[in-house]
Structure 1
Amino acid sequence: MGIVRLGFAVGSYLLFFLAFLYLIAFTGNLFDEAAALTGLSGLGALPSIDVGPAASLGTAIAINLALIALFGIQHSVMARPAFKSWLTRFWPGAIERSLYVLATVAVLVAVFLFWRPITPLVWSAEAEWLRIVLWALFVAGWVILFIATWLLSHFELFGLHQAWADFRGKVVPEMQFRTPLFYKLVRHPIYTGILLAFWATPDMSQGHLLFAAGMTVYIVIGVRYEERDLIAHLGDQYVEYRTRVGAVIPGIGKVRSP
């Protein structure tokens, strides 16, 4: 069964990687540019944050908020130790994280398919230099996110390390507290990258604003629950770390030691 669990982990990871690439294009409305570069006009019709089935304003807001809530609930509930403890009563612990990754893929696909664009613009940068800066911040956000996953343990974060250790009959070592690179500046650089990527756009539609604002609310809530779990696991080391380093913006969100 070890090879089956490993295959499940690898498949979940590959599907997530594809969904991650689509998310970049989705939030950046990049399919039109891809269609122009490749000559494949069909790419421009692929769903993105401002391209998709039309709906009335009220319906679009209701559907989009439900999708954002679905993403937040899935991420928050499945990441909690109590849920993991319950799940591993009947699901192999070696691929518990891989199931989380696969569930994330399913939620992202739902967002891609059912998102309803709200296209009136909130802002549109006219100056070419400003558009370049905003696109650079958009790219920087995704780069920061990607690098941050490698700074601690990319393969453990996405469940591959656990499945590989299970396949080899090894035990995954306990997580050690470390603060490499970005983690010296902010406690949650992955969220920093997400916020940059979602907010930095030269053309902010009302739908995009709803998406960015909704995900920001999820991050604010998610940080609170994630840090509670980290304190429970890492103890005083993490409590002291929170007094020195901001949450997602350098210098902002430090917590006084109790």
Structure 2
Amino acid sequence: MDEIPLLRKCLGLLYSLVCYLFSMLVLAYFVGFIGPPDVPKDINSGPPTAWYFAVPINMLLISLFALQHSGMARKGFKQFWLQWVAAPIERATYVLCSSLALSLMFLLWQPIPLPLWDVQAQPARGLIEAVYWLGWIIVVLATFLLSHFELFGLKQALAAFRPHPGEASAFKTPWLYQLVRHPLYLGFVMSFWATPHMTVGHLLFAGVSTLYILMGTLLEEKDLVQLFGEQYRQYQRKVGMLLPFVGRR
């Protein structure tokens, strides 16, 4: 009888590991989708579609990811979701759904290649590309400053092997989190906008995605206030939301 729970735990860990590796591949492709590295299909490649078809399709793709990413993160949905998904693999399943939603966007994205600016002169082009890569460095670093493997669901799957449940998440603000409350989102916004070759399609992606990040951040902050209470309210008063000293309450 004891072997069945152990088998389920091992399968859960294997499932979480597969979800993690898939999410890393999708994130790596994301870097090339909007930036310098070559990928099979980027934000400007593919046969162009009439803008009045491309815009609603792209808006739908971004909205689909936004609804999945924010909706599944809400406390009410998690309570419902846990009736069907075991707690140790709940986070990994969320990460898998996010990765699939992003993959769908990569696959179906309709390019609108009309250029808005194209910076070729140095050092301006080099500076823009440096900001782009700095944004991705901040994204990766921000995940490790808190708990990279918890964020992607591996820690929860490993915790199932422990005889006693782990302690509740403690409130902490390491390094970058003392400059802005959401350095992960700041890094994404930097990478979305820092391009030497801006097209209408890229602008649509950057603008709508930034708007989603702002809305999603406000929803996340409500959850964090509920979780940490006055401790997080004091943090809001001292540290800006996405920019240092901007957005303090």
TM-score higher than 0.5 = yes
Aligned counterpart for 1:156 among listed residues 146, 150, 153: 150
Whole-Å Cα distance in 1 between the matches of residues 53 and 122 of structure 2?
A: 35
Aligned counterpart for 1:206 among listed residues 178, 200, 209: 200
Note the 1:85-124 alignment, pairs <5 A.
Answer: 85-124=79-118
Residue 168 of structure 1: CA displacement? 3.6
Number of residue pairs matched by the alignment: 242
Whole-Å Cα distance in 2 between the matches of residues 215 and 172 of structure 1?
A: 35
Aligned counterpart for 1:129 among listed residues 123, 127, 136: 123
Q: What is the aligned partner in structure 2 of residue 11 from structure 1?
A: 18
Residue 30 in 1 paired to residue 24 in 2?
no
Distance 1:73 1:127, change over 3 A: same
> Which residue identity lines up with residue 14 of structure 1 in the other structure?
L
SS of 1:47's equivalent?
coil
Asked if the contact 1:161/1:172 (under 8 Å) is kept, the reply is no
Percent sequence identity is 41
Q: What is the aligned partner in structure 2 of residue 178 from structure 1?
A: 172
Asked if the contact 2:48/2:113 (under 8 Å) is kept, the reply is no
Asked if the contact 1:148/1:190 (under 8 Å) is kept, the reply is yes
Residue 222 in 1 paired to residue 216 in 2?
yes
> Which residue identity lines up with residue 100 of structure 1 in the other structure?
Y
Q: What is the aligned partner in structure 1 of residue 28 from structure 2?
A: 21
Note the 1:47-58 alignment, pairs <5 A.
Answer: 47-58=41-52
TM-score normalized with structure 1 length? 0.92
Aligned counterpart for 2:135 among listed residues 127, 133, 141: 141
Residue 2 in 1 paired to residue 9 in 2?
yes
Whole-Å Cα distance in 1 between the matches of residues 217 and 228 of structure 2?
A: 16
| Alignment deviations for residues 139-170 of structure 1 (CA, whole Å, 9 cap, x no partner) | 00000000000001101011000000113444
Asked if the contact 2:115/2:199 (under 8 Å) is kept, the reply is yes
Asked if the contact 1:6/1:167 (under 8 Å) is kept, the reply is no
> Which residue identity lines up with residue 3 of structure 1 in the other structure?
C
Aligned counterpart for 1:242 among listed residues 226, 236, 248: 236
Whole-Å Cα distance in 1 between the matches of residues 20 and 175 of structure 2?
A: 25
Q: What is the aligned partner in structure 2 of residue 82 from structure 1?
A: 76
> Which residue identity lines up with residue 177 of structure 2 in the other structure?
Y
Whole-Å Cα distance in 2 between the matches of residues 52 and 107 of structure 1?
A: 20
| Alignment deviations for residues 181-219 of structure 1 (CA, whole Å, 9 cap, x no partner) | 100000000000000011001011110000000110101
TM-score normalized with structure 2 length? 0.95
Residue 231 in 1 paired to residue 225 in 2?
yes
Q: Where do 5+ consecutive residues of structure 2 fail to align?
A: 1-7
Cα root mean square deviation, aligned: 1.0
Residue 56 of structure 1: CA displacement? 1.0
Residue 29 of structure 1: CA displacement? 4.6
| Alignment deviations for residues 114-154 of structure 1 (CA, whole Å, 9 cap, x no partner) | 00010011111132101000000000000000000000110
